[in-house]
Structure 1
């Protein structure tokens, strides 16, 4: 009987350790990172490609950004990583949609989720956001990631190399969480294209 009780206690301990490992906190403070869990579908159903709510070709040239997410070694592709994205509209505001709930009230309606495929690939299409009306920051796209085994955490924003607000001072102070977020865009005729690979744990506290 004592042996059975001991085995049960050991099983409970291992279960607790497993839960702790699955939710290991990394990245430091992150207001709004929990918005990643407002995904309208289970993470497992997400695709590696998403068209964000504002994307259109009507008198516009949308923006496509793709890349590969790598493990901490910088070489191994990381499948099953969830990426949450949001940005301002064409006037520089985070405008929520009708009846907005949760973090959409703060992040606005232009937000989406993708999940890397077996090759670690991801891609999204959107319109290039505008900077804040006071031009206090460059135009940017926020990104939060959730990899298996650790909590969600934010990476450096996507910003654009040709943005005059991406000054030498801005570049120097960038932490490069997950790698540099400064991307170059190429005009391919009907749209702009950019590429950014992401590196799990790079410059992330506690990873």
Structure 2
């Protein structure tokens, strides 16, 4: 009796579909990156400049960090969403009492930006403290969501003058999106720094441009 070819065909079809479904995401695994979708402001209304919760000049010197996001071809990248969060001045991710979702883990010092037509972004915040154990340099986490690709993380913002940012730790940085080390300049009432971001640089599975 002649065997029906359809079961074999269906098996092969499911194998192909399964292979496509298991295709690795751009940037690889990223725990908590989905927090980039927790913003309550419509994407098209996100601003390129924000101030994170807690910013004050009352006895403080805030940080102002800005930069340009560039595409892989070197042109400015408009419409890229940036999600950032960091510890407070005690080194903890402190969340509000009514926090929901990833705010419980990331704390309430967080925010969302969207690059303008020139790829520009800027944010103001108070300088985060390292974790209480002082085993890691102070840092600001950042997740990227660019049009047409899934969300992924890049190297954290780090501070060049941080004594915890040792030569050994610098050598181990992946430089995802380019270097995240920021040199701060005291301009009197605040500190300013700049970091440009290069989409695709050292990002696993990033699509190759022709």
Q: Aligning the two structures, in what range does the TM-score lie when normalised by the shorter sequence?
A: 0.7 to 0.9
Q: Residue 111 of structure 1: CA displacement? A: 0.2
What SS does the corresponding residue of 2:77 show, helix, strand or coil?
coil
- State the alpha-carbon separation in 2 of the partners of residues 149 and 72 from structure 1: 14
Question: After superposition, where does 1:137-176 map in structure 2 within 5 Å?
Answer: 137-176=136-175
Give the alignment's Cα RMSD to 1 decimal.
1.1
CA deviation vs aligned residue, 1:50-104 (integer Å, no higher than 9, x gap):
000021101000000000000012x200000000000000000000012000000
- Could you tell me the TM-score, scaled by structure 2's length? 0.86
5 Å-filtered alignment, 1:80-159, equals 80-159=79-158
The superposition leaves residues 97-151 of structure 1 with CA deviations (integer Å, 9 ceiling, x where unpaired) of 1200000000000000000000000000000000000011100000000000100
Structure 1 residues without counterparts, runs of 5 or longer: 1-19
Aligned length: 184
- Superposition misfits of 4+ residues, deviation over 6 angstroms: none
Secondary structure of 1:123 counterpart = strand
Pairing 1:1-80 to 2, within 5 Å after superposition: 25-73=25-73, 75-80=74-79
Looking at structure 2, the residues matched to 45 and 67 of structure 1 have their Cα atoms a distance apart, in angstroms, of 20
Give the distance between the partners of 2:93 and 2:72, measured in 1 at CA. 32
